Amino acid sequence: MQYVELEVVRYAAGMLAAAEEAGHTLVCKSQPCERPIAYLVPDATPPGGDGQDVEQRPAIVCREHLEEMLGHAPEEQPL
Ligand SMILES: [Zn+2]
């Protein structure tokens, strides 16, 4: 089971709405990457951590980077 705190959803939705309103396209937060975002990962681990006390935080990434994190293609997520 997966769960996402609503504050995370609210934050992401607000960011998306603001960007859309301003006519901006948000891009993937993984670097270097300029692809448009496609997924919110609520508990992403920042790259470069040493595995100890790595803080998990939400990340907004493109499909390719999500696939890289998962190690396989993301599943369809019907609403
Ligand atoms: Zn990316």
Percent of the chain with pLDDT over 70: 89
Distance 32 CA to ligand 1 centre (A): 7
Give pTM, 2 decimals: 0.75
Output the six-digit token pair for 77.
Answer: 């997520």
Distance 3 CA to ligand 1 centre (A): 23
Distance 60 CA to ligand 1 centre (A): 9
How many CA atoms lie within 13 Å of 38's alpha carbon, on the beta-carbon side? 15
Distance 65 CA to ligand 1 centre (A): 4
What pLDDT was estimated at residue 43? Answer: 82
Rounded-to-integer distance, Cα 79 and Cα 74, Å: 15
pLDDT top residue among 32 and 23: 23
Which residues are within 5 Å of ligand 1 (an ion), measured at CB? 28, 30, 33, 35, 62, 65
What pLDDT was estimated at residue 50? Answer: 60
Which helix (H) or strand (E) element contains residue 19? helix 6-22
Report, as an integer, the average pLDDT of 20-45: 89
Q: What is the pLDDT of residues 4-28, one digit of tens each?
A: 889 989 999 999 999 999 999 899 9
